[in-house]
Every structure is written in C-alpha cells, then in structure tokens.
Amino acid sequence: MGFLESALSALPDAASTPLALVGYVVLIVAWVVIALRVKRNKQLLGSLEKLPEGDRLKVLQMEMGAVHIKSGLTPEQWIRSRVHLYYFLGFAILSLVVVLIFTIAATTGATPGTAEGTITLYQDEFDDPTSPTQASVSQDLPVTVRNEYDGSGGNTPQASADLTLTYRYDRRGDSIYITPQMPFLSRLERGGPIKGINFWWSVFQWQFPRLSVKFVNNTPHTVFLTEIVVKVNSSVINTEPVLIIEEDFCNVGKFDIINEGWGKVIDPTVEFGITNVGAYDSNSPLEGRKESIRIDTFFERATVEVGGYVPANLRGANLVTAFGTIHYTTEDGDQRAVKFKTRVSLVAPGPGAPAPPTYTYDVFLEAGKSGYTELVPISQTVEANSVDHFLLRVATDKSARFDLDFSFRVAGGEELAGESVSMDIFVPRTQQRRIARR
C-alpha cells in the first residue's frame, strides 16, 4: 500500500512530458501485477510445505489449474522457479523503461523555453531591469506602480498636485488593474468641498496611461515582433459627472459649473450664500443667508447667476465669495451632493490666454465599443534568451473602463501570449478635441 501511495504522489512530476508519463504508468502497472503474483506464489509455497508430499502436486493443480512440471522438479521447486521468473521480468521491464527515457532525452533534447510579454505601467525610477516591477514577478505577490505625470499632455500652469492625474497599476495574482488617481477626483467623490478654479484650456494636468511592455524570449531563437495585438473584450463608458466650478473673473455676477465627465447632470439645484472675499481662504464653515436656484439638466455646462443675490453691504466690492451645495442626480439614478466655494467678480478684468496643450497616444480605443481588435505596428528584434522593453501609450475618447487582452504577433503570423488587463482611463470632456496620434 505504501508503494502505491508513493507512486501516485509522484505522478505530477512524471506528467511533465507525455512520453515520460506513459513509461511511468507502464512501469507501475507491471510492478503491481508482478508483486501480486509473487505474493500469491509465496503464500502457496508456504501452504504446500505444511502438506504431505503426496498431496502437494494435487493441491498445486487445484490452485493453479493445469500445471506441467518437468521431471525431477518438486511442486515447491516449480513455484520457486516461477517467483524467480517474475523477479526477472520486473527487472527487465525497469531496464527497458530506463533505456526508453534516455533515448527520448537524447533525441529530443531539452524542452524549449517560452517567449511572452508582460505589461506594467512605465515609471522612470523603475528602469532597473532587476527591479521586481520591471522583471518577471511572482504571481502570488501584489505589485503596485504609479504612472507619474511626464508632461506629454503639455504644461498646465495652474494645475497643482491636487489637479494632476496619475495612474496606478496593481497586480493581484493573475489579475492586472490600471486605475486613474487624482486628489481632486477623490474629494469630489466624497462630496467636496471643491473650490473654484481659474484656468484657460484645461483644468487638469493629465495624460493617457503609458504602458511598459517587456517581451521575454527564453527560446534559443531570435524573435521578430511585428505587431502588438490589443483585443478589446469590453468597454463601458463612465457616466459619472465630474463637476468643476470655473472661477472666470470675466463672468461678472455669475459662475459656471462645467461637467468634465461623460454623463448628464440631472435636475441640479444650487443652494448658496454670498459673503466677503476674505472668507474664501477660511477653513471654517461659511455662514450667511442661503438661496436656492434650480437649473435645467445639462451635459456640458450651466451658468449660475448670483449677482442679484449679493447683499447690499457687498455690492461695491470687486470680488465676493459664493458658497453652498450642488445637488443633482446621475444617469444611474444616484443622488449626489457636492459642497463648493468660489470667488465671483463684480467687475470685468482684461483678457489673455496661453496656447492649448495636445494629448498624444500610440493606440486609440473607442470608448463604449466592445468585441474588436486593434493592431499596433512595431518592429522589434528580440535575441535568444534576452529581454526587450518598449512603451505604449493607450488613449480613448471618453472616460471608460476597458477589459483588454494583449498578445504579440511575430514574423510569419504566429501569435505569442501576453496578459489580460483591466484599465480605467480618465478623459476630461472639454479636452477630447485635443487628442492626437503621436
């Protein structure tokens, strides 16, 4: 029983190649059959030796059937010869299997290695190929990398760290998740408070996620990569509104609520009060008489006229502070409430504007479109037993989540394995027209 348990526990190792598995199974079955025969013959031999000599042949024939014993052999000697024959057969089978295994090893050689790609986010400080974020990583360990802002979207002077978009990469087991991160978006999700922002072209300092693609060639042959194959299994547009209070001092007596998201702001109501401009920088809750204005459902922007609600003692000021809460409903039916404060001009300033930024990419995925494949032409030569590294910036036209499968096509058309990635991309609505292929 112990032999069988040991043999069965070794099956996974023997199954590394089909031929090795077949040889192993044949050996085990043969040895089990031989062991049973030897055991039976030894038991019979022990029983015969207890019987009178004249009865031994008769009992042997009753147990074994027709038995042809050569002249001069006793029944006991015949049984012992059978046991020795079984021992010889067991040794012969073992020798044959060993010879077959050595023959297979000599003719087929070592099992060839694999050639495959891995996906992470690019980050300058992780360029060291020995780093766990750049080299092969154990699938059991969680890995986190941040895709910091690299200036690819152009300079946005007013954008602080609070308004700068980064991407986070998380590998948990076999699953890869890429998600956008920004302090302002996190605060908006919690219900504020948000402040008015004075800007020209873009509120945010943002970019598309930049992927670090590493192709590992562990084969003895050079691999010529011709395309990256990006299979879009699904894409779902993020319809959560992203509200911005535009602090434009050219808007005398009013402020605009801009939606940088991709869903409607449904049935919004603005509850607000007006106080002196010095209260804008206060961290204490602002107080004052509250007014309420209902606004029509909007997708892009809405204007809130507050000039008529300025208290008499503040009407001679250049600036005042408007504060309050915006209530609205999302397209998914969720109720939202965001606290805000912004400065509102009561006099008109002069104009001026910098040049707009441009946001570049390498591969474009249409938000909301599923079940198609994008091919990215490349020309990479990966020598035998080496690693190549290149970058891929992925873009889309709206904020959306994508479930993607990456693979690599080589010269001749063969497709090599890559990885599956779940990726969220944030695209400010007002910046869509400035997206351009690299």
C-alpha span between 210 and 167 (Å, rounded): 9
For 381, the token pair is: 């030569």
Report pLDDT for 344. 92
C-alpha span between 311 and 320 (Å, rounded): 10
Report pLDDT for 141. 40
Residue type, 388: D
For the ranges 32-46, 164-178, 358-372, the lowest mean pLDDT is seen at 32-46
Going by pLDDT thresholds of 50, 70 and 90, the confidence category of residue 64 is low
Q: Are 134 and 113 in contact (CB under 8 A)?
A: no
Report pLDDT for 261. 94
Q: Are 233 and 283 in contact (CB under 8 A)?
A: no
Q: Are 222 and 383 in contact (CB under 8 A)?
A: yes
- The predicted model gives 251-261 an average pLDDT of 92
Condensed to tens digits (0 to 9), the pLDDT of residues 298-352 reads 999 999 999 888 888 888 888 999 999 999 999 999 999 999 999 998 887 655 5
Q: Is the pLDDT of residue 410 over 50?
A: yes
C-alpha span between 412 and 376 (Å, rounded): 16
For 402, the token pair is: 């994508």
**Those residues with Cβ within 8 angstroms of residue 321's Cβ, 6 or more apart along the chain or in another chain:** 274, 275, 276, 277, 278, 279, 280, 286, 341, 342, 343, 344
- Which of residues 204 and 27 earns the better pLDDT score? 204
Report pLDDT for 106. 58
C-alpha span between 314 and 345 (Å, rounded): 12
**Those residues with Cβ within 8 angstroms of residue 221's Cβ, 6 or more apart along the chain or in another chain:** 384
Condensed to tens digits (0 to 9), the pLDDT of residues 101-117 reads 666 655 554 445 677 77
